[in-house]
């Protein structure tokens, strides 16, 4: 099956950044095309005119991605499902199709349409034999409006639109817990997840959202912050709270996990994380890089290259729960396999 390009979801406002990243990634594998990107639309379409696009690569600024199969415009009000099913090739995937909408001011009201249209479209696709293919492949249909549809295919993991369905725990001290939870789901492989008995350091911990989640996972945590922790964490024997500056703190020996959500320039956080990783003070790290208003893609590339220079493997993304930042997972390569 030839792919015409890629369907890419992103945070509204980052369309130009994602378009530049996608174009550069395509050129690296010898595919030359162009992007359609409208400001604040929350999605980007990369077109490969020769129809030679590979499966979409991992892109930092893409929440979710699919290979573009077909685009439909001006769908008839009374026969949308049949028109889509008639134009798609059979056997695109047997996982349940996802109907998605852009995560934008204009796109969010389409959630109701997608819910109501899902049943009739699923039935039409099944009757046409569209969803009888690879069980590991999912048909994903993005609706910028109710008569415009972009049909793509992707592996069956992830979330519709790249938006995780995470619930805010009642006992968590701040919503930042969702950011770390999403990072662990999306960036950290199953065999590298935090597990009970490991030791962690949380830089810039207060009021303790990330410390709380690590304690829920059974880790002991040293929380570094001049500000106070939530009372239940301050009284937790598995938490050591040190009132210290994140940039000056020195750990006692190696820790399994370093997490950091300190508000600072990305260059400063990169140097701090590089010091811990290069010096063997942390086996793995999850941290945020606050993005500048100008040239965010160049800033991210420079930062990630610096982290790789420490000998760490790196995976990064702008998560749904991120705002003007990206989240990075880095693990020293020698620490990947646990005994």
Residue 78: pLDDT over 90? no
Out of 134, 162, 190, a domain closes at 162
Same domain, 331 and 182: yes
Assess contact for 283 and 337: CB atoms under 8 A. no
Query: Which residues are known catalytic residues?
Result: 290
Segment 234-280, tens digit of pLDDT = 999 999 999 999 999 998 899 999 999 999 999 999 999 999 999 99
Residue 94: pLDDT over 50? yes
Cβ-based neighbours of 337, under 8 Å, separated by 6 or more: none
Biggest CA–CA distance in the chain, Å, is 68
Asked whether residue 167 is domain-assigned, the answer is: no
Query: Among positive and negative, which fits the CA dihedral 258, 259, 264, 266?
Result: positive
∠ Cα 111 106 58 (to 5°): 75
Asked whether residue 170 is domain-assigned, the answer is: no
Confidence of residue 163 (pLDDT cuts 50, 70, 90): very high
Confidence of residue 333 (pLDDT cuts 50, 70, 90): confident
Confidence of residue 335 (pLDDT cuts 50, 70, 90): low
Same domain, 207 and 329: yes
Model pLDDT, residue 339:
41
243 or 135, higher pLDDT: 243
Q: How far apart are CA 303 and CA 82, in angstroms?
A: 48
- What is the extent of the structural domain holding 59? 5-162
Asked whether residue 287 is domain-assigned, the answer is: yes
Model pLDDT, residue 95:
81
Arithmetic mean of pLDDT over the chain: 95
- Per-residue pLDDT, averaged over 70-77, amounts to 95
pTM for this predicted structure: 0.94
Model pLDDT, residue 51:
87
Q: What CATH code is carried by the domain that includes residue 18?
A: 3.30.70.2810
DSSP H or E segment with residue 303: helix 296-308
Residue 124: pLDDT over 50? yes
Query: Among positive and negative, which fits the CA dihedral 315, 318, 324, 327?
Result: negative
Same domain, 229 and 258: yes
Same domain, 62 and 195: no
Out of 162, 184, 210, a domain closes at 162
Q: How many CA atoms lie within 13 A of 178 on its CB side?
A: 15
Q: What CATH code is carried by the domain that includes residue 255?
A: 3.40.50.150
Asked whether residue 80 is domain-assigned, the answer is: yes
Asked whether residue 168 is domain-assigned, the answer is: no
Confidence of residue 136 (pLDDT cuts 50, 70, 90): confident
What's the structural domain count of the chain? 2
Assess contact for 275 and 224: CB atoms under 8 A. no
Same domain, 112 and 258: no
Out of 162, 187, 203, a domain closes at 162
* 91-105, 194-208, 258-272, range with the lowest pLDDT: 91-105
Q: How far apart are CA 207 and CA 234, in angstroms?
A: 10
Same domain, 118 and 250: no
């Amino acid at each position: 099956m030839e792919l015409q390009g890629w369907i890419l979801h992103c945070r509204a406002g980052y369309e130009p950044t994602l378009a530049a990243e996608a174009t550069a990634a395509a050129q690296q594998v010898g595919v030359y095309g162009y992007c359609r990107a409208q400001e604040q639309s929350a999605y980007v379409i990369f077109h490969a005119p020769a129809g030679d696009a590979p499966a979409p690569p991992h892109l930092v600024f893409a929440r979710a991605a699919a290979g573009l199969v077909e685009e439909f415009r001006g769908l008839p009000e009374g026969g949308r499902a049949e028109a889509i099913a008639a134009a798609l090739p059979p056997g695109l995937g047997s996982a349940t199709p996802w109907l998605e909408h852009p995560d934008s001011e204009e796109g969010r009201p389409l959630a109701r349409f997608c819910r109501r249209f899902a049943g009739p479209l699923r039935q039409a696709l099944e009757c046409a034999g569209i969803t009888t293919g690879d069980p590991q492949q999912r048909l994903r249909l993005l609706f910028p409006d109710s008569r415009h549809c972009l049909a793509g295919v992707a592996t069956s993991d992830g979330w519709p639109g790249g938006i995780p369905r995470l619930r805010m725990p009642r006992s968590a001290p701040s919503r930042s817990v969702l950011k770390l939870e999403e990072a662990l789901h999306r960036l950290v492989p199953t065999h590298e997840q935090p597990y009970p008995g490991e030791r962690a350091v949380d830089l810039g911990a207060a009021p303790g959202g990330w410390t709380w989640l690590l304690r829920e996972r059974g880790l002991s945590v040293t929380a570094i912050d001049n500000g106070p922790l939530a009372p239940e964490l301050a009284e937790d024997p598995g938490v050591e709270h040190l009132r210290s500056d994140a940039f000056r703190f020195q750990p006692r020996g190696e820790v399994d996990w370093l997490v950091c959500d300190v508000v600072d320039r990305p260059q400063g956080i990169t140097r701090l994380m590089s010091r811990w990783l290069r010096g063997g003070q942390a086996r793995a790290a999850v941290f945020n890089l606050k993005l500048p208003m100008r040239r965010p893609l160049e800033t991210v590339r420079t930062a990630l290259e610096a982290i790789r220079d420490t000998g760490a493997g790196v995976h990064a993304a702008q998560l749904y729960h991120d705002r003007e930042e990206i989240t990075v997972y880095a693990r020293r390569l020698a620490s990947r396999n646990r005994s």
